[in-house]
Structure 1
Amino acid sequence: MMKREDNAVTLCFEQIWDLNEDGEWVCTAFWKTHCGSVWKVTWAHPEFGQIIATCSFDRTAAIWEESVSDLGHGIHRTWIKRAGLVDSRTSVMDIKFAPKIQGLQLATCSAGGVVSSIVLFYTRLFSLPSDHK
């Protein structure tokens, strides 16, 4: 199993770190996620793939999925924004995926105390393994 960490670095950027075979952490992704400070990052259960959600001072939450391709000269990894959620009048302060038994669901909480629950439907973008029950 791959060990991974995330790090929302200053203002509006995200970093993904992977543990290599030598036991060293290597930054494998770095990208702009929001227009304001990122308050929190959370990972979906690995059963759903490599999916993270971020929330920010800019009043938005975003869902990101890792895309992996082999272009013949090495593996290329990119994080693609699958959804942007603009539903708050204040900063989105917290974000959390539901336990896997409840499927791919996400909850957000704004600084104004508003809690939202979002059910993410499976499309070809969010595909489940064929043995998923």
Structure 2
Amino acid sequence: MFSISSASAGIFNSLLGDQSPVDEENDIELDNVTFRTYAIDAIDTQEYLADFKSEPETYNNNDTINWMENLEGYVIIPSKEGDFLVMNASYASDLPVVEDKLDAITFNKISCKITEAHSIGKGMVDLLLVEDVKLVGTETKHLL
């Protein structure tokens, strides 16, 4: 297993050139990728999209906006690594939601397959469409 972050996903093209798994169509297929997601309620893609549209100077990728407008039944969960994982709501409903306390944050460690990578603007790959999401475990980080 390996994990991927926005920084690494955002530089696929510059590092790998023609060998990059991100093409003009945004298709990508990476199996058995791990992430640590915040153990919070998932965000509906349409709610997230409304935030994009409120800041057009920052979130200026119309292809990604059009793609998101057609996602029904999908939600977004932020990862500790900085990526925003887009998944079917049924996958998200299988992940524990834990109320954070002042002295601790809980993460769900998941394994999944990345099938698409999208940018909301500024050239970074921010949104990763994932499938086959499986809970590997839950961990709590104590802050104090």
TM over 0.5, shorter chain: no
- TM-score, structure 1 as length reference: 0.27
Greater strand fraction, Structure 1 or Structure 2 = 1
Greater helix fraction, Structure 1 or Structure 2 = 2
Of structures 1 and 2, the one with the larger relative CO (CA 8 A, separation 6+) is 2
